[in-house]
Structure 1
Amino acid sequence: MTGFGQEPRVNYFKIDSDHPEFDLVQAGDVCLTFYQDNSVITSLPALIRVDGVITNDKQVQDFLKTEKVEHIPFMPIVQIYPSFDPLMFSKLMSTCNKMTEEVRKQSEFHFVQSSIFDFIEE
């Protein structure tokens, strides 16, 4: 399936055929998965909006082949997010934007969206 997060580009996601919500996911749903961008895959939970569901078997197999060729796994759908509130999400994003701007103005800290495990030294 294709989906959108905060980033402007489309990402591909997958859901196993034995997943209890396999036949329920549809375009427009908000789903729980993991955060990724062009260069990072994390264990941080992320919400995405499903843009489209690819159901053609040949297309599905072709996409799964590109996953292996490019060595970048498609993030799995954990579940359909049951109680997504667009107004609360808008408030959350507005607050996040204000906080990010404040961090930039008032400190020398760099705002990073990452996992705490990225900072643990071995």
Structure 2
Amino acid sequence: MASRGGGDEAYVIGLCNRVLGEQALTQHRFDWRVLARDSDEDRVTDAFRAWLLTEGWTPIEPTDRWTDLEAVRGEERLICEAKGRTSEKGIDATSPTGVPAHVRALLRIDVTR
């Protein structure tokens, strides 16, 4: 049995080391900068991927280079195009629906309710 001499944390880590047969890296620090994303589109894709996982989807390698995210769930396949903020006129996709403003107007989609 692991010793409790170093407190609860040391005790639990000692138990894990024995069960796993490996030595833990105690008080290890991660370089969180590796998680920083370069663009809004990357952040949107990451958030959507996380949501898909909670809904039972399995992200897979996209079948073409233009697809931002692809996922499968059973027989279903989802091919996704992500959009972040943009300054390009006419392709505003920062709305709650992700549908460009001019398309929402044509389809009479009201997102103010």
Q: TM-score normalized by structure 1?
A: 0.26
Q: Name the one with the larger strand percent.
A: 1
Kindly indicate whether structure 1 or structure 2 has the higher relative contact order, using CA contacts under 8 Å at least 6 residues apart. Answer: 1
Larger radius of gyration: 2
TM-score by length of 2: 0.27
